[in-house]
Chains A and B, each alone.
Chain A
């Protein structure tokens, strides 16, 4: 983990609220992206992030190894996302405001069409595979930590990654071929 992040975690553990907030602000994009991949709706991401923030704030003093802060946070977030999904199934909620897609498209002009295809392919993976891809490639977590977050064996994580790569490679090849055919 980044040295400064560890320092910030230490400060937060000693009761420095500002350090906690700075830390969280910086991690927001990664946490949002992970939540988005699980719950889909921005409204639900906001709920999951809110609860994660509150739980992390309450629990940070109990965290033993500051180096595992991010893994710990991701575990809380995944639990909260699952909670949101359970709640979505159970409660009758009023029609909600459709998502604002405007902000989603900001800055996306730097992403080329192949990246868009790949992103779509990742988002269309089965949830169990998608989560592993997110944690490994986007969050940069080592296999051991992913296993701990998802409560799986390291072998199971590797197997899922292998399967996910297989699906993605096949889809991307197929897209490549169809693009050639259509030109």
Chain B
């Protein structure tokens, strides 16, 4: 092949590829831009011209809705994946009862097995000999978790498998693996940039390679937005499987489990000019949601600070996920909505602990955590910022013992 032709073609390819940024990334970038508002910008010149702000209505909406900074949260979460050997041995075990018991690292979802709180929806779609099913889901007003199972031919690996082709090349999906997942609530997208609900979507592996748990959580850190969804709605999902052209479309009726115990707190601790405020804890039979905020002039410090929830017996609650946001009108305040598992037993009090994880590169607020010899992140707890709050133990125990019977359901 002629080199000049190749040069020409490569340049044309560069032009042809330009201009396409996936919605997910555009959405994230808009959030980052909005968050810049809360970050100080150094001025170089003393003769700064006042900038004329001509902000489009859409952008204004994004700016005022919530200026958001996403903080690296996923990397502290332990792996929910099970080794392939265990997974293979489990594959042949027939499953009876709720498939949520496969959620190896989520006490809240595991207890759905005995409580019967999960809604049996039994939705399914079949294409090319493969059937995808969503047999059960649960929505507790905080997170919506649904089981997705796969059955049929063309399966060469787990439902969430990706084939990494090495550093820097795109992952590929084996035949039968999920490569895309879209969802709408009452016909409106779950993503904010599509004027949607502003939810986050996450896929979790289970101990069964043919079963995954998909979870929707609110991407908001304000009280008024965390439960913006209606009490009952229709969730439409479109799932793309590698090797199957047609998307698997399912419509799912969802209703909110109303049971919850709320504690509005507004308790603050200050240390060296940094302030931590715990404003609300909400318990449901499957989730513990904490709303808190951090105020500090030190942006790096503020972004590195992270949290744990401990019960009165010294057990640390498992982290499900979290969302952090700088909100307009609250300069310097970083608000969080952090989700933890439920506890096994209701405690008399609960403790919020703040810590700074040690970074491998000490000058960076992002990147790898420094690990100890056991492979755990090294946490420097700040005892001065610890907040303990009493819990209505009897009320919470009642909530934890709730089941479909006490809810008056007619499910078997």
Partner of B29, one of A17, A50, A97, A104: A50
Q: Are A15 and B48 neighbours in the complex by a CB distance under 8 Å?
A: yes
Shortest B216–chain A CB gap in Å is 11
Q: Mark A45-64, 1 if CB is under 8 A from B, else 0.
A: 11101110110011001000
Partner of A94, one of B39, B74, B240: B74
Shortest A120–chain B CB gap in Å is 10
Q: Are B179 and A99 neighbours in the complex by a CB distance under 8 Å?
A: yes
Alpha-carbon distance A86/B370, docked complex (angstroms): 12
Shortest A99–chain B CB gap in Å is 7
B43, B165, B368: which has the most chain A beta carbons within 10 Å? B368
Alpha-carbon distance A47/B36, docked complex (angstroms): 16
Which B residue sits closest to A36, measured CB to CB?
B170
Q: Mark B1-18, 1 if CB is under 8 A from A, else 0.
A: 101001101111110111
For B23, the chain A residues whose CB sits under 8 A away are 100, 103
Q: Are B160 and A172 neighbours in the complex by a CB distance under 8 Å?
A: no
Q: Are A29 and B29 neighbours in the complex by a CB distance under 8 Å?
A: no
Alpha-carbon distance A167/B79, docked complex (angstroms): 40
Q: Are B181 and A98 neighbours in the complex by a CB distance under 8 Å?
A: yes
Alpha-carbon distance A153/B276, docked complex (angstroms): 50
B16, B51, B170, B361: which has the most chain A beta carbons within 10 Å? B170
Partner of B20, one of A45, A58, A103, A176: A103
For A19, the chain B residues whose CB sits under 8 A away are 51
Q: Are A93 and B77 neighbours in the complex by a CB distance under 8 Å?
A: yes
Which A residue sits closest to B34, measured CB to CB?
A21
Shortest A58–chain B CB gap in Å is 7
Partner of A102, one of B18, B48, B182: B182
For A90, the chain B residues whose CB sits under 8 A away are 360, 368-369, 371
Cβ-based interface call for A163 (8 A):
no
Cβ-based interface call for A173 (8 A):
yes
Alpha-carbon distance A93/B162, docked complex (angstroms): 14
Which B residue sits closest to A39, measured CB to CB?
B168
Binds A, one of B84-92, B122-130, B202-210, B378-386: B202-210
Question: With A49-B28, A97-B181, A165-B3 as given contacts, are A15 and B42 in contact (CB-CB < 8 Å)?
Answer: yes
Q: Are A104 and B169 neighbours in the complex by a CB distance under 8 Å?
A: no
Q: Mark B31-43, 1 if CB is under 8 A from A, else 0.
A: 0110011010111
Binds B, one of A67-75, A106-114, A143-151: A106-114
B72, B168, B212: which has the most chain A beta carbons within 10 Å? B168
For B10, the chain A residues whose CB sits under 8 A away are 118, 122, 133, 137-138, 168
Question: With A28-B29, A29-B18, A85-B167 as given contacts, are A21 and B177 in contact (CB-CB < 8 Å)?
Answer: no
Q: Are A61 and B43 neighbours in the complex by a CB distance under 8 Å?
A: yes
Identify the A interface with B (CB < 8 A).
11, 13-21, 24-25, 28-30, 32-33, 36-43, 45-47, 49-51, 53-54, 57-58, 61, 83, 85-87, 90-104, 106-107, 110-111, 114-115, 118-119, 122-124, 127, 130, 133, 137-140, 165, 168-169, 172-173, 176
- Known contacts A137-B14, A140-B14; can you find 4 more A-B pairs with CB under 8 A? A42-B22, A94-B77, A95-B212, A172-B6
